[in-house]
Structure 1
Amino acid sequence: MSAAAAVLAREIREQPAVWRGLLEHEAAIAETAAALAALDPPLVRIAAHGTSDHAGIYASYLLRALRGWTVVRDSMSMPLYYGVPAARPGELAIGVSQSGETPDVVAWLARAREAGATTLAITNGEDSALARGADHVLRVGAGAERSIAATKTYTGTLAAIALLAGALAGEGPRMAAGLTAAADAAEELLEGLDAAVAPVAEALARIDRMYLVARGIELATANEIALKLTEVCYLGAKAMSATAMAHGPVAALDADVPLWAIAAADGTLPAVQEAARRAHDAGAPVIASGPAAAQLGEAAHVLAIPEPSEPLLSPLLSVLPGQAFAWALAQAKGIDPGAPRHLRKITAAA
């Protein structure tokens, strides 16, 4: 194992500690939530790239589910290149960037502030350009992340969003208790995860493509695992809603193109089960993960997670098998998972 691969493995294991660290800042998060609750924006705009955009998917669900706000993941190109106003007065604009230095996210948030929106930066870069240019800052506090593939900054961002959304809904203590329980569950899960993913990686070492499906809040997980498999294992991995599988993509499935299905223990489960059935009928190997993974009877491989006490925190746990699998699959393919080609680290320490 290379030194870079060892660093990535260590950062995957550090994630529960990052979540617990956020609990030490509940008061600051509650203060930010109080200011945003007083604003009660008619529209919330979120802008981000890559892993941060996947965290934005999660935020869009939680802010709607817990606070009832209308949320859109916005276009940065419209204001930056086409002269369209970035926001309207009274709206809330949220820029998400792990480093806080992503140029167009920084520029978009500045344009939104100039247009009269209240701005929130969600970042691991506490002294970053994004943080300095925002009215409010939600700090991830993951410390230095040295691996190119983001792991602890991703789930740290999810945890920070969950605490903020819980506070906005007057459910801060409940969400904090759920996060503590999730951290405990994650530590137990991580103990055996390397052994669980190793045979799956060996079985699928020759694959070059994969589809990933989910619905609801686990769409963030599907997108994040797809990105990890792309950047670490060089797979052509594509995530989509489970209901989109029938609209063309199922035609591409066969024995060499697996389906990874993330099954939540909620009303979205039947759609994921149907996608898994269709993939199985097409001859594709099915990998099942998520808290309801055992309910996908067609799965050739099951990477289950414990069902969290707070269901809205499920994506923090559901992504862990994907991170571990990406690490193991890269090794099985003879790729150094800690040093993917053509990429450089952007995320800054905080």
Structure 2
Amino acid sequence: MDRADYWNTLRDQPQSLAGTTTAVKQALAGAALPPWRAGEVLAVFAMGASTWAAEFLVHEARRRDRVVLNWPAADWRGLSFSPAALAIGISESGRSPETIEALARCAGHRIVITNVAGSPVVAVADTVVPLGSVSDAGVYVSGYTSTLVALALVGESLGLAGLADELESAPRRVGEWVPSVMAAVDGLLSRHYATTSPGSVECVGAGSSFASAGETALLVREAGRLPSACFQTDQYLHGPAEALPGASCCVVFGGGRAVELVQVMVGDGVPVLHISTAPVPGSIGITLPVASPLVTSILEVIVGQVLAGRLGDRRGHEIGTFHHSFAGTKLPTNPSAEG
């Protein structure tokens, strides 16, 4: 899998989304997926950014009276049995050992979403859904939005009607969206952080926007190298908001109870980036077009990608490089060379 420049990858997502759509549709056309019966649990095995992408599926399945368990893949080790007759494993690199181990222990049908054909995760798959070998940065950018597309198309194939609505419009909308997001993020930083950066970034969202909040917080840490946190909107109102204002900025996705949150934060002088179809006056608002949940989720996370990238550029490091290295997060690409 190619590793590309962060900003080029971000801007090239219209092409990667179109390529993934074609690849996934071709794979599913020849797949024999089992039925997902009412009352059955679907398990997701993933780590890192892939876990956040799966929160989109969790919420959209719940809206349709279906249950998806999205524990981190590492947490499935504690079970002596598999509670799911159907599982989706997600590993963009195909080398996440926790995901591979969880899939190996699963007794049900295993659908694997990966960007790398022939990677180790394919050996524990009953159905392989490729992302199309999209080029990605050192931190997952195009791989994340492509995974959303794959989850929507797989979900529809399993009976979640309408999950991929408006997918064909996504590449065009993303191409139109990126310049306006860059302008809004630059406005936030120049208005509130002309000579410094936020001490931390708190990301808040509910429903499928919880996925966007979680992935934004992860990107701020990985690409921006700043402390961040993620909260579900209703949970945030039950105490966590007390840490503001401090030196934090707040990134809030969506409406509903988020509107009151943004109003209070603006009144208290907290820098707030509000991504919504109707941003609260006084915030740095980014107005989402009315769109399907899938397209909305893609557009939302691009805000997080731009913000994290701008913060990373300010800190002066090469985005996609890591100064901490941990054993066991990826299987080696050449096992014989690494023992």
Kept in 2, the 8 Å contact 1:260–1:287? The answer is yes
1:279-318 map, 5 Å: 279-290=265-276, 292=277, 294-299=278-283, 301-308=284-291, 310-318=292-300
**Alignment match, 1:87:** 82
Corresponding residue pairs, total: 325
1:48-88: CA deviation from partner (whole Å, max 9, x where unpaired): 1110100111122233445x4311113544553x4x22414
1:193-239: CA deviation from partner (whole Å, max 9, x where unpaired): 43332232333342121211111001000000111111122211111
Give me the whole-angstrom Cα distance separating, in 1, the residues matched to 2:108 and 2:39.
9
Give me the whole-angstrom Cα distance separating, in 2, the residues matched to 1:11 and 1:304.
23
Give me the whole-angstrom Cα distance separating, in 1, the residues matched to 2:40 and 2:155.
16
Match of 2:250 among 259, 268, 271: 259
1:23 is displaced (CA, Å) by 3.0
Kept in 1, the 8 Å contact 2:309–2:319? The answer is yes
**Alignment match, 1:22:** 20
Compared with structure 1, are the counterparts of its residues 206 and 177 closer, same or farther at alpha carbon in structure 2 (3 Å cutoff)?
A: closer
- The secondary structure found in structure 1 opposite 2:248 is coil
1:148-167 map, 5 Å: 148-167=138-157
Whether 1:70 aligns to 2:67 is yes
1:5-28: CA deviation from partner (whole Å, max 9, x where unpaired): x81101111212122113324243
1:126-155: CA deviation from partner (whole Å, max 9, x where unpaired): 21111221111221124232x221100000
Kept in 1, the 8 Å contact 2:204–2:231? The answer is yes
Give me the whole-angstrom Cα distance separating, in 1, the residues matched to 2:171 and 2:134.
17
Match of 1:195 among 183, 189, 203: 183
Match of 1:186 among 157, 174, 178: 174
**Alignment match, 2:228:** 237
Amino acid at match of 2:272: V
Compared with structure 1, are the counterparts of its residues 59 and 142 closer, same or farther at alpha carbon in structure 2 (3 Å cutoff)?
A: farther
Amino acid at match of 1:287: L
1:141-152 map, 5 Å: 141-145=132-136, 147-152=137-142
Kept in 2, the 8 Å contact 1:46–1:95? The answer is yes
Compared with structure 1, are the counterparts of its residues 214 and 347 closer, same or farther at alpha carbon in structure 2 (3 Å cutoff)?
A: farther
Kept in 2, the 8 Å contact 1:144–1:348? The answer is no
Give me the whole-angstrom Cα distance separating, in 1, the residues matched to 2:295 and 2:57.
11
1:275 is displaced (CA, Å) by 1.8
**Alignment match, 1:98:** 92
Give me the whole-angstrom Cα distance separating, in 2, the residues matched to 1:283 and 1:194.
23
Give me the whole-angstrom Cα distance separating, in 2, the residues matched to 1:184 and 1:347.
36
Compared with structure 1, are the counterparts of its residues 298 and 96 closer, same or farther at alpha carbon in structure 2 (3 Å cutoff)?
A: same
1:337 is displaced (CA, Å) by 2.6
Compared with structure 1, are the counterparts of its residues 126 and 59 closer, same or farther at alpha carbon in structure 2 (3 Å cutoff)?
A: farther
**Alignment match, 1:333:** 315
| More helix by percentage | 1
Give me the whole-angstrom Cα distance separating, in 2, the residues matched to 1:74 and 1:250.
25
**Alignment match, 2:302:** 320
- The secondary structure found in structure 1 opposite 2:223 is helix
Kept in 2, the 8 Å contact 1:63–1:71? The answer is yes
Kept in 2, the 8 Å contact 1:47–1:105? The answer is yes
Kept in 2, the 8 Å contact 1:54–1:220? The answer is yes
1:273-302: CA deviation from partner (whole Å, max 9, x where unpaired): 122123234431111114x2x332341x12
Give me the whole-angstrom Cα distance separating, in 2, the residues matched to 1:329 and 1:136.
39
Kept in 1, the 8 Å contact 2:74–2:99? The answer is no
Give me the whole-angstrom Cα distance separating, in 2, the residues matched to 1:73 and 1:61.
11
User: Which residues of structure 2 form unaligned runs of 5+?
Assistant: 334-339
**Alignment match, 2:336:** none
Aligned-pair RMSD on alpha carbons? 2.7
TM-score (norm 2): 0.86
**Alignment match, 2:44:** 46
1:307 is displaced (CA, Å) by 2.7
Give me the whole-angstrom Cα distance separating, in 2, the residues matched to 1:195 and 1:270.
26
Kept in 2, the 8 Å contact 1:262–1:289? The answer is yes
Amino acid at match of 1:182: A
1:84-117: CA deviation from partner (whole Å, max 9, x where unpaired): 22414x61122111111111110111011xxx21
- The secondary structure found in structure 1 opposite 2:7 is helix
